[in-house]
Amino acid sequence: MGCATMPSGRYSSYYREIDEKGHISLNEFARKHDFQIDFDPFLKKVYLTKGDSIELIFALESSVALLNDQVLRLQDSLKVERGDIRLSSQSARMIINQIYYDKKPQEKKQKKISDIHRVHTIVLDPGHGGKDPGAIGVSGVKEKDLVLSIAKILKSKLASAGYKVKMTRSDDSYVSLWNRVAFANREGADLFLSIHANSARAKSASGFEVFYLSEASDESARSLAAAENYPLGFEESLSQDLNVQATIWDLLYTENRKDAIKLGRKICLAMDSLVSTKNRGLKSANFYILRGAQMPAVLVEVGFISNKYEESNLNTWRFKSNIAEALVRGVESYEKEYLVSHGYNR
């Protein structure tokens, strides 16, 4: 891989500043080993790269890191002390040994352009289900039933358009938020679409909106995320292994965030032209269901079932079909631009 050889002698003396806890500055580590260092303050991740051959991803306060997508369990977690990000010298030794001596990280296999930038598999996630009904409309319509019927229509349309489609649930069963995104990752999905229906105290509220994962863009987005994240209360605590997986998947998310924004914009444009309701736009919020997705992922709120008129429309097959058709067109438009640009961020 063209990497320099580690210096001989005592490893601890290789770094100038080792504190009383045995930690070194990550900036010094990067300089010593010729890594470029970048920090994402929102996702609290640190990226160390060397050309196209090595990529290290760390998460603050986590003892899990990724080396070219290979999982590394560090001696302890990355710490922030007096504005400096610090790594234990033992973890530094382990990382360098992994790169230079023990087992060189494999570079990612290159795929054909026509394959790597095409959307093959889409996972649809009808929100809620089973013991979690979601929002309930003014006439008693349950969100879980409404979005499942839309997802089934959408699945048929996407399949007709040539996509392979999987669903996190195909009946009235409860699936935890964690297992929904885990399912999408296991299936190797290229896109993840979570479908929901909205509700508000103001009975006049109407329209569709599309969300990608980030900090809430406004107070209504923050409140909606809190409501959609409520099913977490039904779930058992994650085991240690699942927490490690969660961290790994969170580490991989950043590269898909910009793509999710582009997908969301395409869906908004298609919905605006095909669905006769208010366009509330593309927004961001901290939806748990979108966290950890290894592919571009968006959450679509198709309308307000708290609005009597909109609930009535959402109950018709024609309105549901128009929503599904808009989502198909949004996906197709995204893929077309994705191919032309050779993969937005890939």
Q: What's the number of CA atoms in the CB half-sphere (13 Å) around residue 136?
A: 4
**Residue extent(s) of CATH 3.40.630.40 domains in the chain:** 113-340
- Tell me the average pLDDT across 22-40: 87
Looking at residue 163, its pLDDT comes to 97
Residue-wise pLDDT tens digits, 153-180: 999 999 999 999 999 999 999 998 888 9
Instruction: Indicate the CATH number for domain 11-102.
Output: 3.30.457.10
Whole-angstrom Cα distance, residue 67 to residue 57?
7
Looking at residue 293, its pLDDT comes to 82
Looking at residue 102, its pLDDT comes to 64
Among 193, 145, 174, residue whose Cα is nearest residue 301: 193
pLDDT band at 119 (very low <50, low <70, confident <90, very high): very high
Quote helix, strand, coil % in the chain, to nearest 5. Answer: 40, 25, 35
Out of 28-42, 78-92, 107-121, 297-311, the most confident range is 297-311
pLDDT, mean over the chain: 81
- Tell me the average pLDDT across 144-153: 98
First to last CA, the chain: 21
Asked if 142 and 316 count as a contact pair (C-beta separation under 8 A), the reply is: no
With pLDDT > 90 as the criterion, what percentage of the chain qualifies? 44
Asked if 203 and 138 count as a contact pair (C-beta separation under 8 A), the reply is: yes
Q: Assess whether pLDDT exceeds 60 at residue 107.
A: no
pLDDT band at 128 (very low <50, low <70, confident <90, very high): very high
**Residue extent(s) of CATH 3.30.457.10 domains in the chain:** 11-102
Whole-angstrom Cα distance, residue 148 to residue 197?
11
Q: Assess whether pLDDT exceeds 90 at residue 335.
A: yes
* Number of C-beta neighbours around residue 142 at 10 A: 19
Q: Assess whether pLDDT exceeds 50 at residue 111.
A: no
The two most distant CA atoms of the chain are separated, in Å, by 76
Residue-wise pLDDT tens digits, 168-219: 999 999 998 888 988 998 899 999 999 999 999 999 999 999 999 875 445 5
At the second CATH level, the architecture of 113-340 is 3-Layer(aba) Sandwich (3.40)
Whole-angstrom Cα distance, residue 15 to residue 24?
7
